Chains A and B, each alone.
Chain A
Amino acid sequence: MIAATKPRTLAEKLWESHVVHQADDEPDLLYVDLHLTHEATSPQAFDGLRLAGRTVRRADLTLALEDHNVPTDTHRLDDPVSRKQLETLRANCERYGVELYRVGHDRQGIVHVVGPQLGLVQPGMTVVCGDSHTSTHGALGALAFGVGTSDVEHVLATQCLAIDRPRTMAVEFTGRLPAGVGAKDLALALIGEIGTNGGEGHLVEYRGEVVRALSMEARMTLCNMTIEAGARAGMIAPDDTTFAYLAGRPHAPSGERWERAVAHWRGLRTDEGAVFDRAVTVDVSDLTPLVTWGTNPSQVVPLGGTVPDPEEIADPAARQAARRALEYMELSPGTRLRDVPLDVVFLGSCTNGRIEDLRAAAGVLRGRSVASTTRLLVVPGSAQVRRQAEDEGLHEVFLRAGAEWRLPGCSMCLGMNADRLRGGERCASTSNRNYEGRQGARARTHLVSPEVAAASAVAGRLAAPSDLG
């Protein structure tokens, strides 16, 4: 077979179409079609640019957003340290001519929610952002990964990234997805199976009928969590679901360009006979809603289960980690997850802060109230999601149930702003990381889906919608 017709994976096609330069003893130089940036990881990059006397090569392929640090109860920036970081971003964008959606702008929100929503992320593109959950954008059939600040500077200066080619990995979900189980559970099931570094050095492609049947936003949830399995990126081949999602969005092509784009996008899938470096299959037929019990996303069990006993874990390192996790989480082996009481429930983040997530949660909360011992924060992923939810009257469902209806931002996902758990509070969260202290000092986090989050808020303890009377 000649090289040109060798069957290729989607990841290989995306990679090869962006190589600007390749040499034996150098990493590949990859072109970046869209660079998203935000206040938390960019100040030092712009500073480096300035110190080296360089400039932004393609301000027109760069978009800045204010998300990590912004307050969600007011548009006023009262905290001086946060304000300084936001003002630094504003000054940098002004100086280098980068478009910025500030707090209060009708397009403001979390980078990974805003990009797809505006049609800025399209199949076949490369997307880079100084944020690990950039993997989200792979849902549209893009090659998208997170980088650190030095690489942000590199992309600002050159619109390229010098990077070694990762290996490829196929993840296929088989069987039929039971009702009440969704993308968040798929992601947690995979991480539970392969571990927090099970995807290290790989570009993951999600495949199979289960994935095909997911909505665009559910695909984003799945790709978002890929980083929690340690992989560089997650992606899904574009199909009619993708094209229907994109059509008519502000930055999507139109008319004759749309026709040509779709014709091209249809070719962006793994060829018959293409070989992945690794393949994993997860049967989802018996999947039930999952919840994490520990301090990393692989420490996960069915909501109907109990806290595992570390002494029953064979691997000594995993046993030790489980012991420490239980100590931190203040949980004892054998406790039923459904008996775990909650102080706070957080509905939001780039994992589950989209309109479908809010609809799912509102569906559970309609006509019900949040438990008196529990606080529910609903933080839409973007200003557009917030508007849409209000148009649909979802905010009234939340407010009537006794929840707080917040302004968009990362909020309690990472506890950079004032939305933080305090004094060892316990939280069911739709975000992506349950690390020690992620949501505040001594904070205890249980990762769950939006439906489980909503039911848990009503029950005041971990619960599924079917548990509510």
Chain B
Amino acid sequence: MFDYIWLIPVFPLIGVLVNGILGRRLEETNKSSIHWIACSAVGLAFVLTVVTFFQLLALPGPERLVEYVWFEWIRAGDFSVSIAYQIDPLSMVMCLFVTGVGFLIHIYSIGYMLHSEGRYYRYFTYLNLFMFSMINLVLANNFLLMFLGWEGVGMCSYLLIGFWFSNLDNAKAGKKAFITNRVGDFAFLIALFLLMISLGEHGVWSLRFTQVFEHAHLMPQGVVTAVCLLFFIGCTAKSAQIPLYVWLPDAMAGPTPVSALIHAATMVTSGIYFIARSNVLYSMSPLSLQVVAVIGALTAFMAATIALTQNDIKRVLAYSTVSQLGYMFLGLGVGAFSAGIFHVVTHSFFKALLFLCAGSVMHALANEQDMRFMGGLRKKIPVTYITMLLGTLAIAGFPGLSGFFSKDEILWYTFANGHPVLWLIGVITAGMTAFYMFRLIFMTFFNECRASQDVQKHIHESPKSMTVPMTVLAVLSIIGGAIGVPAALGGSNRIEHFLEPVMHHVGGHGHHSVSTEYLLMIISVVIVFIGIGLAYTMYVRKRELPHELATKFQWLYTAMLNKWYVDEIYSLLIVRPLHALSVFLWKGFDVRVIDGAVNGVAHAVGWCGSRLRIIQSGYVQAYAISFLFGAALLVMYSVFALV
């Protein structure tokens, strides 16, 4: 029934091969065929995912777990890993929005990248390669294949951040993302080995999810906690959490569709997917869940404070992504795994939308990213304005839109499972989110236009290939919440029921009344409206206010504007010492010891040669004499040896 499932990752792979091998020639002869190939590859994967999804829905609840083994990958003794895919509610939810949003962004990229510098075929090859890796990541039925996808998306992220590598800053941003991710991947690998060995001790030589989770109880508590925490370090790098979030804001150096697809909607959520997938392990270790929740809440809060003061439109969105990812981890940490995944899905809709709109704004303004030189675009690019406003309302948590349901679900579980402090942080963050997102809207679309005269003349709405995906995503941002309307609001929370077979529940949430839920909901809505109102006052009504506040709280404003100096602190504590050590190893060890040894040997041989060359006179007869003496010696030796 699910025998064709291997085709889902293979379609993008075919796109990679065709565009990667023939792309250069196609670009010169028939440029549009490149995006036809790339988009149809992802489109087919999406269609197939939808078909698979409905087939899975047709099965009764408990049977919704199908594993398809394609072929065996590694065998070493009892240990074996296969290239195999797992179809269950969680992987289907992930795969649906990954391929769906991915498809929309592929289409958007046509309009955005067609006349941009850089190789067109290379862009689509990387994008398809990313889709291939990401599908492997979410569909894998074992940790190792998932890790393969995990590394694959990291590599594509690096390649695409540095897509315009002729600018050194972009190349550096790519490098930073890659190296930061290596730190996390290292911890991830250690966790993987630890898991493999500690299960192997009990005879379970397998990394299949079902096997591992079935036998997880065999591992001692301490090992489970260690494994979970190490995996979580990997997740903090991939999903941009404290302390390894620093790469994500810099990753905005890449093309905007890439920021939308990789650094907002899909790749950065793989950490959340991973923890939700491993919820059995995390449920066994309350400590690690606590850590996840606290880190998530802190990241959400801190990133939101930074987003308040940024002027670069993409940076605001980047910090908002970090902050929203923090929410998701908060949800996971308090045991509401389904709520976390729900927020992943809705977030992918509205954040992808916001990035695409930002790209459209930049497209209109000759790649201007600084919001101080925008403004008044409401009338000039109406489609972008309306879709972006909808996305902003969704992320701010306007009642009835998708972000409202998923965010409140997380906050409700945080409160209900007994973390009032984290709930408070979450609610304040929600207010800040509303504030900075509307600050972005007001600075970009309201008031007078502050762009230069040249730029103003060319302001135009983006082509259809860009506005259509934006419209689709805007619709999804509005209605996306319908899959998870909580019971208190008359819904049935379909996504939670759908995910139930995969999720291990931690702590009950029945001991709080519905009225508490209403109250919390009202509180967060009120705070959101305060945030919006504040933004309106500060950026439309009394526009001298932000400046006054900035001068009044000078140190606070500078600290926020400079991202709490985290990059500088990291540079001082980690990068500089490592750099100094490297310089020492280079100049002290490599140059002196290793090069010295190599050159020393060469010098010694050379000196011997210069002495020995005296013998080489070049006279034939001199050689003949030495030859004669040598022969005479050999003869004498053999004669005496025989005697």
Same complex origin of A and B? no
A interface list, Cβ under 8 A from B: none
B interface list, Cβ under 8 A from A: none
